[in-house]
Each structure stands twice: as structure tokens, then as C-alpha cells.
Amino acid sequence: MNKIKNSFIIVLTFALAFVISCKDLDDLNVNPNGVDPNNADLNLLMPTIITKVGETVVSLGFGDIAGVMQHTQFDGWSSGHNDYDWDNQDKSWSAYYSILRNADEYHKKAIEGDYEFHQGVSLIFRAYTFGLITDLWGDAPYSEALKAEEGTEYFAPKFDDQKDIYLGILEDLETANTLLSKSSDDYKNVNNTQDVLYAGDVTKWRKLANSLALRYYMRLSEKEPSIAQAGINKITSDPSTYPLIILAEDDASVSYIGSSKDDDWPSNTVFDTSTSGTYMRNKLCSTLVDALQALNDPRLGVWANKIEIPLVLVSGEGIDRIVDGKREISQDIVDDYEAAWGVGIDYDSEYVGIPPSVFAASQYNLNPYLEQGVYNPHCSHLNDRYKETSGPLLLMRLMSAAEVNFILSEAALYGWISGNAEDYYAEGIKQSLTSWDVEGEFEDYIGNATFEGLESIITQKWIASWTAAAESWFDYRRTGLPDLQTGESAKREALPLRFYYHYDDEIAKNTANAEAAIAKLEPTQYKGSDVSNNSAWSKMWLLQGTNKPY
């Protein structure tokens, strides 16, 4: 949780963010308007890579995937967020490969200088970014990616099998663990200030490498259980060789600077002053609110504001009035609203979320303001902290102790590792509460959150993934949990499983390889009107044959 304090580094960090702006894998990675990465100091590449990966995680987990996983709902311009109205012109992987090109240059410089610390860090971010790509799309350029400068034969790289990408990721993380296994004094050219994640703490970087390996071994648990079991057992049975992030103080989280539109929390109202901006559109989803309320979860108040004006049902007819800070309404008013919008009223006096994929998102709960993305006094807005540009809880959350403990709980449940699944589960909850500054509520909370096996683990992992919801989406695909249902306005009657390959960036410019990858996708009954297997409701290799999540 380290803040960038050096203004010189800040400027260079975000200048380098534009070093690689090309969209094609066959571009030669030279931006005439930016700083040439070949001439950039190795340490200046590091914060660029870290922050760009972090921003990507937030853009997914606080963006459309938060809608898919029903953490939030938009009440204006909401179709991509609430309804998964995606197609093959959405969600290109170009920005991900831009990160990888910087990471590749960083790795080359690390090898040239014999800087083992930087080699290890670069492999972690190579693994992390390729992990996101294959998690989101499936097969993708891997073994032939990032080689355009080596010759025209790499201008249209093959799409590697998803299994091979995961195995390559795990190999990189194993190498990173070895490279980072020495004492701090054994490493050269480590600039603590420019390491905006761990301030040059090699042990914490090593913990991140091994924790990510746990993530990807568990990702393979349904498709390749023997590989998953062996890998997780190897890591957990030798903690001196494979240290892990098990305490929130080691979480891989990066702070926002908050000084400009390029380095601020995405829903802030300082730079986005529109009355229908991201903050105003983004409300809590009833699925999450109801789950948190059922558990008396202290994180709800950290993430959401209480409603300003509760609704109260009173006897009589034609009654719609404000009395003592509450809006009193009669049943005929309710009946007219429900007939018009097809959705009921929530009379909770504290927190109200918008149900998933409803046509009446902007009108929900008798909102008197009938425009899109406006204030709703009868719904829970995000906590006021999400109006700020930065803050101690406004973080790019790459990997957490909570996630690691929940992975260990699941592994123990399967008998893959020693230890008690319920104990790891409780520790996961404790570390999540700690990361949100409500650790003092743990003893009371754990009595409400009783352990009932896999469903409990994945539900708590889903809750803990707030603002990093992509990871809970990947768990949902693998386990079918939580049991989330779509609403009436959703594009399909089931949650999506992947991103479409982007037509302009990924299909048109690498047609033969893209079409071969698309042919390997397995359509489900929810493919609907998609003209090919390139559907958000097709199964990638990881899900094929698992009967999960549907």
C-alpha cells in the first residue's frame, strides 16, 4: 500500500504509459510522440507496468465485471454493465499487450544488466498480464507474441492453447520465486521509491509470485485436478521455499496519486464533475446488499452510503408525502409503480440496492428524478470516499491475503493440503476485514458467517473481491458459485463466460489464427444470435467438459 511521492517519477511513470500505443501485435512498438522504451531507464519502466496492471484490474473489477458479478449496477447508460450487451467490437486486448511489451522490454533490460530482482518482477507481471488475457478470452498469442521485431513471421502470431498458457504462467512464477529467493543485499539497482508496490522488499515480491501460482493452480482445479493438487501441495508443504501472502499487510495493493485524470480513482467527482458521471450512475446491487445485510457485514458501511429518504408504506389512498425525513406512500402508489415498471419496492430503512438487470434501474424504488444516472434518495449510493481521487482504501488490489486464505481453505476442503478448511476460511474473512479497516468486527462477524463448505468459501471470496470482481467472475465460472441469476433486461438468461475476440484488433488482423481459436470454442445454449462460436456465452478450454457453471 505504497504511495508514489516523488513528482519526477510520477511524470515519467505516466509519460511512459503512452510509450506503446499501437493496437496491432505486428507493430514495431515505437511511438514517435513518446519516450522510446529502449532508451528508458529500467527503473522508470517498473512503476509504469505496475500501475497499468493495477488500473486494468480496477477497470475490470469496478467496471463491467462488477455488474456481471452483481456488486454494482448502473442506473444510466447501463447496458454493458448491467446487461452484458457486449459484442465483437468491445473489450480489445490491445492495452494488455501494450503492458506486455513494456514488461518484455523491462525483462530484456534486466537480463542485460544481470539484475535478478528486476527479472523476477518482470516475470511476475508477464504472468499476471498473460493470466488476465487467457482468463478473459481463452486461447491467445503467447509463445509467438512480443516478437514482431524479430521478423515478419511473427506479425500474425499463433493463438496458443489455453492450457499451455497457464502452464507457461506457472513456469514463469516458479522462475520468479527462484530469482527472488536471495537476501536483499544480493540485488543490484533496486530503487525503493520507484517500486510503487513493495518499495523494493524482495520477500514481498516473492510472496506475490507464489500466491499468484496458487491462484492459477486453483484455476485449473476442475479441468486438470492432478496438476492443481500437485502444485498447491508443493507450495504449501514448503513455506520456507514458497512464502505466501497470508496477512493483509502484505497485500499487493497500489495507491492512486489522485493529482490528475490519469492517476485518480475512476469514480471521483473532482475531475468528473458531471451530474451524471460515473459516481452518480454507479449504485450498489441488491444481490450484494442483501448478502451483506444477512451477515450483518461491517464492510457494507465502508462501501455504501445509507439511503437518504426511506420509503414507508402507510394506509389510505393517494398518499405520497415526506414526513420526518421519510417518504410515506400508499398501496395504490406502489401498485401503479409496479405495474408501470415491473419491479417491486424495497422498504429497507438503511441500505437499498438496485436488482440486477432491471429495465427500471434509473426509476428504481420510486426515484422522483426520472433521468438517467441521477441522484436517487431511495437507493444506496457508493460511500462518499468513492468521490475522492485517492485515499487509504482506494487501491488497485492485485492480490490479497484474503484470496490466498480462501484458496487454502478450498484446497483443504478437497484434502489436497494439511490444515482445517474452516480455519483457513475464517482467516480469509479476518484478512479481508483487516484490509477494509474493520478488523475489530471479526469476532462478532464470524458467528454470522458460519462455515458450510465450498459455497461459504466462494461466497466470502466473492464479497472480498469488491473493486476486484474479475477474480470472483473466474471463480463463478469454475464453481457455479455464487448462484447468481440474471434479470429481465439481460442480453441472455445466463451470465457471460468470456470476452468476445475483438473483430478489428484480433480477428481482422490475424484472421487465420483467430478463426482457428474461435473454432475451438464450445457454444452453450445461451449463444443466442451470435453468428459464430465467438460468443461471450461460449466455453473456452478451461470450462469445456466441466458442466460449470452451466
261, 389 Cβ separation under 8 angstroms: no
Domain ranges, residue 314: 278-387
| Mean pLDDT, residues 72-98 taken together | 96
Residue 465 in grid coordinates: 473481491
516 falls within a domain: no
Q: The whole model's pTM is what?
A: 0.93
Cell 511489451: give the residue.
101
In order of 11, 359, 504, the CA distances from 90 in angstroms are 30, 22, 10
27 falls within a domain: no
* pLDDT tens digits, one per residue of 210-237: 999 999 999 999 999 999 999 999 999 9
Q: What is the pLDDT of residue 18?
A: 38
Separation CA 469–CA 410 (nearest Å): 19
Q: What is the pLDDT of residue 183?
A: 94
Q: Pairing mode, if any, of strands 311-314 and 326-330?
A: parallel
97 falls within a domain: no
Residue 41's pLDDT band (cuts 50, 70, 90): confident
Rg (the chain; Cα; Å): 24
Contacts of 171 (CB under 8 A, 6+ apart): none
131 falls within a domain: no
423 falls within a domain: no
Residue 9's pLDDT band (cuts 50, 70, 90): very low
460 secondary structure, DSSP code? H
Q: What is the pLDDT of residue 374?
A: 85
373 falls within a domain: yes
Whether the per-residue pLDDT at 549 is higher than 70: the answer is: yes
ω before 549 within 30° of 0 (cis)? Answer: yes
Across the chain, mean pLDDT equals 93
Structural domains in the chain (count) = 1
DSSP-derived secondary structure for 140-168: EE-TTTT-GGG-GGGSS--EE-HHHHHHH
372 falls within a domain: yes
* pLDDT tens digits, one per residue of 494-512: 999 999 999 999 999 999 9
* pLDDT tens digits, one per residue of 404-453: 999 999 999 999 999 999 999 999 999 999 999 999 999 999 999 999 99
216 falls within a domain: no
